[in-house]
Amino acid sequence: MRFESPQEAQAYLDHWEANWADTRIHGTTKRQVAVMFAEERPALLPLPVEPFRYYQYGERTVHLDGCVEVEAAYYGVPPGWIGRRVSVQWDIRHVRLLNPSTGQLLREHLRQARGGHRIQDQDRPQHTPLSTQQLLCRADHAGSQIGALCRGMHREHGETAVRRILGVLSLAKKHGAASVDDACAAALEMALASIASYAVTWSAIRNCR
C-alpha cells in the first residue's frame, strides 16, 4: 500500500482495525477480538510519562575519591565501597550504581558533562579518609611545593581532587620530583592552587624546563 500522507495511512488503518482486526475471531481463544478488548480495557493502566530506559551496562572499580567513572564523568558511591567493584547502568539521562552480588540499587545520579562530579551529600566524608591522608603525605614527601599545591587542591575541592593529586604525583614520577616541585611553585605563585590540575602543572613543567 502507498499513501500520500500520514493522515491517509491512519484513516486506512482505522478502517482496517474497525472492520477486520476487531471483528475477527482470535485463533487461540475463539472469541471476537473487540469483545475481549472491551472486557480488558477497565484493567489497563495509562502509559508512563517517562519513556522506557535503554541502558548500557558495565562494571567499575570504586576509586580512592569514592567515585566511579562513566564516559569521563564521576559518580559517588556510598561509603565503604572504595576498591570494590560495582555494576553500572547508564543512558543519556541517568547513571545507576548497583551491588553486583544482590542487584540492590546503591545510587542513581543524573548524567554529568565530561569531567563533572555527582556526589550525594550523605556520601561526602565528614573527615579526610585515611587513604587521602596517606596520599597527601606522599605529596609532602615528594616535594614541599608539590605538597602545598596538592593540599591546596584538597582544601578547595575535597575528595574530588584525589584524581588531580594522583596526576601530579604521576608527573613527579615521570619527569622527576625536582622539576615538578618547581612547576608547583610556579603554579602557586600564579595563584592557581584553587584550579590546579594535571594540565596546569604540566604546562608549568614545560615553562620551567
Cβ atoms 164, 197 nearer than 8 A: yes
Q: How far apart are CA 94 and CA 107, in angstroms?
A: 10
pLDDT digits (tens, 9 = 90+) for 117-162: 999 999 988 888 888 999 999 999 999 999 998 998 898 888 888 9
* CA 166 to the chain's CA centroid: 20
Cα-flanking dihedrals φ and ψ of residue 57, to 5°? -125, 150
pLDDT digits (tens, 9 = 90+) for 76-95: 999 999 999 999 999 999 99
| Residue 148 neighbours by CB under 8 Å, 6+ apart | 184, 188, 193
Q: How far apart are CA 144 and CA 178, in angstroms?
A: 10
Q: What is the pTM of this model?
A: 0.63
What is the number of other CB atoms lying within 10 angstroms of the CB of residue 205? 21
pLDDT confidence bin for 195, thresholds 50/70/90: very low
